[in-house]
Amino acid sequence: MRSQKIRSFEEINYELPLDELPDPNIDQILSFYGDPLKTFDFLAAKGLFITETECPYHMNASKQPELVEATYIDQETEEIIIAPWLNRFKCRYKNKQKGPCPFQVSVLKRSFFALRKLDLDEILRIMYYWFVGESITKCHEDFQESVGFKAISNWYQYCNEVCLLDLVLNPPSFPKHPDNIVMIDEVCFGRRKYNRGAGKEHNWVLGIIEMQLKDPTNMDSKERVQVQYLTCYVRDRKELTLLHVIQTFVRPV
């Protein structure tokens, strides 16, 4: 059973093209399981890995770092296996006195999988379970304990942190369409000791929900569906506090 520890997204400097992530097709995802090479080709086609880089020590050199292909020998069949996920870019600059430049970098550098300790096909399958809202326990059972529960839990948390980071850097804007309805309300969460007396803890949360017509072609219909929503913690429900949050996310039509 394998386990791993993933650092916080604050310690990682990466560029994640969220729009390039694959569509959640379970048949396609499961077809990659057990085939890391096919998984790598699929993710590389989505532009998730670097294709070129520069040596920070010899940026003015005429020779750019070259791609060194990696292989390994299968212990059971003793066959040479191509492992492109282990490929590295290596600087070609050589000094007569100091020798070759030590700079080299993995093709997974600055990607979502930079800190991986699991196989790419396993990570992709965990991401799918997280995307569809399956529990960590269910995901662990389907892996038949070939991947540790803690490793799956860490990847679930990592995916949540990446989405949180994207939400902070690219906050949503309401409404998406001028005909949509934006509903705003605040609610207080608190507790009372032994359910007696006045509450000692008060946490105010402001919610924003955007609704659109279920059938856009029928303007007379009153049936609406949820498009997007946002909940955020506020210090209090004073007018200035709520207006600041509303003006930040809700634009006038």
Q: Give the C-alpha separation, 176 to 38, whole Å.
A: 38
pLDDT at 6 over 60: no
- Mean pLDDT within 157-181: 84
Q: Which residues contact 35 (CB under 8 A, 6 or more apart)?
A: 121
pLDDT at 197: 65
Residue 17 · residue 48 · CB < 8 Å:
yes
Q: Which two tokens stand for residue 153?
A: 């839990």
pLDDT at 154 over 80: yes
Residue 18 · residue 166 · CB < 8 Å:
yes
pLDDT at 26 over 70: no
**Termini Cα distance of the chain:** 55
Range from 16-20, 27-31, 83-87 carrying the lowest mean pLDDT: 16-20
pLDDT at 23: 52
Q: Give the C-alpha separation, 31 to 40, whole Å.
A: 13
Query: Which CA distances in Å does 250 have to 59, 166, 211?
Result: 45, 18, 13
Domain boundaries, the chain: 9-169, 181-249
For residue range 118-151, list pLDDT tens digits in order: 888 888 889 888 988 889 999 998 888 788 999 9
Model confidence at 253, pLDDT cuts 50, 70, 90, reads: low
pLDDT at 199: 62
- Mean pLDDT within 169-177: 82
Single-letter amino acid, residue 4: Q
User: pTM of the prediction?
Assistant: 0.63
Model confidence at 25, pLDDT cuts 50, 70, 90, reads: low
pLDDT at 5 over 70: no
Q: Which string of b and e fits 167-193 if b means at least 16 CB within 10 Å?
A: eeeeeeebbeeeebebeeeeeeeeeee
pLDDT at 173 over 60: yes
pLDDT at 55: 85
Model confidence at 157, pLDDT cuts 50, 70, 90, reads: very high
Percent of the chain whose pLDDT exceeds 70:
83
pLDDT at 150: 92
- Rg of the Cα trace of the chain? 25
DSSP string, 53-87: ---SS-TT-SSPPEEE--EEE-TTT--EEE-GGG-
pLDDT at 149: 92
pLDDT at 22: 45
pLDDT at 181: 86
- Mean pLDDT within 198-225: 80
